[in-house]
Amino acid sequence: MQILATAELMRRFDRAAMTTAGIPGLVLMENAGRSFVDILERTTGPFAGKKSVVVCGKGNNGGDGFVIARHIANRGGDVRVILLAGSRSVHGDAKTNLDAALRMSRLRGSGVHVAELAGGRKPNFPPRSDIVVDAIFGTGFSGDVGGRELAAVNWINACGAFVASVDIPSGVDASTGTVGNAAVKADLTVAMGLAKIGHYVGEGCDRSGAVHVADISLPPSLLRAGKSPVFRVLAGDVGPMFPPRSRTANKYSAGKVLVVAGSRSFTGAPLMTAAAALRSGAGAVVLAFPSSIQHAIARRVTEVIMAPVRESGSGSFGPDSVAGVLEKAAWADAVALGPGISRDGETIAFVRELLVKLDKPVVVDADALFALAGESALLKKMKSPVILTPHTGEFAGLAGGTAADAERFRVSAARNAAGRFRSVLVLKGAPTVTADPGGSAYVNSTGNPGMATIGSGDVLTGLIAGFAARGITASRAALAGVFVHGLAGDIAAERFGAGSIIATDIAECIPAALSSISLRSFSPPPPGPSR
């Protein structure tokens, strides 16, 4: 998995590289600038004949910018450096590289031109440029942008050039992805040493463009020893999580899922959840539903086993349904609870009673989450692993606060809630974040806006339950389910167009998604006779 650093974690790594490994800060800055230019040149092509502008702040991000200017010029480019401060306000390694750029600018034909803004001077931005490098703020920035920096950010966003940001687009909080009043919108961001949370979460995701990670010679041993609780899930991470299915497996040994879903008003949700559970590779799926909707269910299922149970007077699950559901749960390896069950008062009582009696891993979604609002202490009484799958609105009802806060600080919100509820928590959105009670969080890397469609969450619930039934841990089932769900959505977008995806398209593309990550379904055949 890809480590995603906070600003503080990145500072610790840089400090350890200098103090523990003995790598001078000047070397790290030189490596950063040169690596940035390597990636920029691969992206935009040769610099010769192009006009580049490097906009620098007075800190170490600006120091990287001075190195970048030198290397662009050395490769044939014409570079204008705009320092948004006076040279006397620049210190340390950044000052050393500023002095080098200033001396280089005095050489005839060097291609480097430096303008500093001492005193009250206002920026004088060029009317035309081909490439603009944003080296204003580094990963330590948070809050609003003001003064000359705000003018620079606004000019960068309006200039029409190819924009490349150093480490993080200026104005983006590297630890959260939040933006105050303004931020650079980059076409390319080159992260130094490690990617940051802010590249992939919140507004930072839209501002960062294509993200590349530059090797600045941080010793791998330091990165391995560092404790990072946040990771980005990639394709190669998911396949190895699953044990291969034995060649002697039967439908019951391959994973059994009980889906508890549906009501008189909602007959589609249980079908989508059950279909996704089957597509996950589970061998058998039983669908428990209120008995009055049996006719609607029977017309539309084939492989799923139907299990009608006693219902409330409103055609939903109620306290009288608990015994029937527990009987089926005794057979299952995992349970999916909530899609389409309604918010009827008797259904709320049903959910609360059922959860404390279940002894199988359970995925709690939709209306079942609503039943837990104000009653989250029930989760601490659970006998088995719980996976909660709220969107931000459901999260606010469950954990308190507002949906806006959950959206703005989704990584920390998911981590805090997972610890508080002693459950795996999947905070759905863009991107979806999975957190476990131990404090780790996993940012998903698949999915597209077309998946924001009714029923998509029902498919995810079935997929996670199916993976849990196959015997992997609750945390892995959740993050793998999220990844495969997003990948299936990406495949559906390619086939049908992102603007017209429906939930059943996502479910139908699950096999292609699993195939593309080489998920091992069966044990390899025994070796043949030797010759």
The tally of CA atoms less than 13 A away on the side-chain side of residue 524 is 3
**Chain length of the chain:** 531
Alpha carbons 497 and 352: distance in angstroms, whole number: 41
Q: Would you say residue 381 has pLDDT above 90?
A: no
Mean pLDDT of all residues in 435-442: 95
Alpha helices in 313-455 (DSSP H): 322-329, 345-357, 367-372, 392-399, 403-408, 410-421
What band does 225 get if pLDDT is binned at 50, 70 and 90? Answer: low
Alpha carbons 396 and 510: distance in angstroms, whole number: 30
Q: Would you say residue 487 has pLDDT above 70?
A: yes
Q: For residue 441, what are its two tokens?
A: 């969080």
Mean pLDDT of all residues in 406-428: 95
Q: Would you say residue 528 has pLDDT above 60?
A: no
Alpha carbons 222 and 238: distance in angstroms, whole number: 25
Res 376: pLDDT: 80
Q: Would you say residue 92 has pLDDT above 70?
A: yes
Res 524: pLDDT: 47
Q: Would you say residue 369 has pLDDT above 50?
A: yes
Alpha helices in 339-400 (DSSP H): 345-357, 367-372, 392-399
pLDDT in tens, 169-206: 999 999 999 999 999 999 999 999 999 999 999 999 99
Q: Would you say residue 521 has pLDDT above 80?
A: no
Res 488: pLDDT: 97
What band does 154 get if pLDDT is binned at 50, 70 and 90? Answer: very high
Amino acid at 76: G
For residue 431, say if its preceding peptide bond is cis, omega within 30 degrees of 0: yes
Res 525: pLDDT: 47
Q: Would you say residue 397 has pLDDT above 90?
A: yes
Res 519: pLDDT: 54
Q: Would you say residue 501 has pLDDT above 80?
A: yes
Mean pLDDT of all residues in 63-91: 96
What residue ranges define each of the domains in the chain, with the CATH number in brackets?
A: 2-228 (3.40.50.10260), 251-444+457-470 (3.40.1190.20)
Q: What is the pTM of this model?
A: 0.91
pLDDT in tens, 317-336: 999 999 999 999 999 999 99
Radius of gyration of the chain (CA): 27
Q: What are phi and psi of 420, to 5 degrees?
A: -65, -40
Q: For residue 522, what are its two tokens?
A: 């069966």
Res 526: pLDDT: 47
Mean pLDDT of all residues in 216-225: 80
Amino acid at 403: A
Listed in sequence order, the residues at least 6 apart from 74 whose beta carbon sits closer than 8 Å to its beta carbon are none
Q: Would you say residue 120 has pLDDT above 90?
A: no
Residue of 199, 209, 301, 283 lying closest to 246 (CA atoms):
283
Q: Would you say residue 444 has pLDDT above 60?
A: yes
Res 123: pLDDT: 78
Q: Would you say residue 523 has pLDDT above 90?
A: no
Q: Would you say residue 529 has pLDDT above 60?
A: no
Res 150: pLDDT: 96
Are the beta carbons of 337 and 444 closer than 8 angstroms?
no
The tally of CA atoms less than 13 A away on the side-chain side of residue 305 is 14
Alpha carbons 237 and 374: distance in angstroms, whole number: 36
Percent residues over pLDDT 70 in the chain: 97
Alpha carbons 202 and 406: distance in angstroms, whole number: 10
Are the beta carbons of 350 and 260 closer than 8 angstroms?
no
Sign of the torsion formed by the C-alpha atoms of 62, 66, 71 and 76: positive
Residue 223: CB atoms within 10 Å: 16
Q: Would you say residue 152 has pLDDT above 70?
A: yes
Residue predicted with more confidence, 464 or 217 = 464
Mean pLDDT of all residues in 464-479: 96
Res 244: pLDDT: 77
Alpha carbons 318 and 346: distance in angstroms, whole number: 5
Alpha carbons 123 and 117: distance in angstroms, whole number: 7
Q: What is the mean pLDDT of the chain?
A: 93
Residue of 411, 478, 397, 491 lying closest to 451 (CA atoms):
491
Mean pLDDT of all residues in 110-119: 89
Q: What are phi and psi of 512, to 5 degrees?
A: -65, -35
Are the beta carbons of 124 and 47 closer than 8 angstroms?
no
Alpha carbons 451 and 169: distance in angstroms, whole number: 27
Residue 419: CB atoms within 10 Å: 15
Are the beta carbons of 128 and 51 closer than 8 angstroms?
yes
Residue predicted with more confidence, 6 or 252 = 6
